Amino acid sequence: MANVRLVAVGQRMPDWVTLACDDYLPRFRRHFCLRLEEVPSSKQSGSQAQNDHHSRLIERVKPQDFLIVLDERGQQFSTAELALKLTDWELSGRSLVFAIGGPDGWNEKTYEKSDQLWSLSSLVFPHPIARLLVIEQLYRADSIRQGHPYHRS
C-alpha cells in the first residue's frame, strides 16, 4: 500500500474547496490512499515565510520520504505522464509526499530537499485551486493506472 500525503500550507480554505476535496479524498483506493495534511500559514512574509514553511514541512517529512514539491519552476507532466511518474515514484519503495507552499513559494533549502519539482501549469493558480487540482490530478492519474473509466468521462 502506497503511503501518499499532500502537505499543504494554509488551513482556512473556502467552503467550495473543502467540499470538493472532501468529495475526492474518499475515492482513492486502498492501495493508493491520499491523506491531506494542512500546515499553518506563516504570519510573516517573503523569505521569513518561506523559512517558516520550510521548517513546518521538514517536521513532517521523514528522511526516507520521496518529496515532490509543487512549484512553477518544476517539470510539467501530462496526466498520462503523471500516471507513469506515480508508478516510478512508488517503485522507489519510499512514501510519497507532495507539498504545496504558501503565497511566497518555497526557499532554496526546500528545493534542495526535494526529489522532484512539479509544476501544474505555466499559469499561476490561487492556493485553493492548486490544492484541488493536485488532488484531482492524482486521482485521475491513479485511475488511469487502474484502467478505471474516470479519465475518459
| Rounded Cα–Cα distance for residues 125 and 133 (Å) | 9
Q: What is the pLDDT of residues 71-91, one digit of tens each?
A: 999 999 999 999 999 999 999
Question: Are 32 and 82 within 8 A, CB to CB?
Answer: no
What are the structural domains of the chain?
2-152 (3.40.1280.10)
Model confidence pLDDT, tens digit, residues 29-75: 878 889 999 999 999 999 999 999 999 999 999 999 999 999 999 99
Q: Which H/E stretch holds residue 24?
A: helix 15-24
CA–CA distance, 126 with 10 (Å, rounded to integer): 12
Written as one letter, the residue type at 25 is L
Q: How far apart are CA 86 and CA 148, in angstroms?
A: 16
What's the predicted TM-score (pTM) here? 0.94
Quick count: other Cβ atoms within 10 Å of Cβ 95?
Answer: 17
Instruction: Specify whether the CB–CB gap between 86 and 39 falls below 8 A.
Output: no
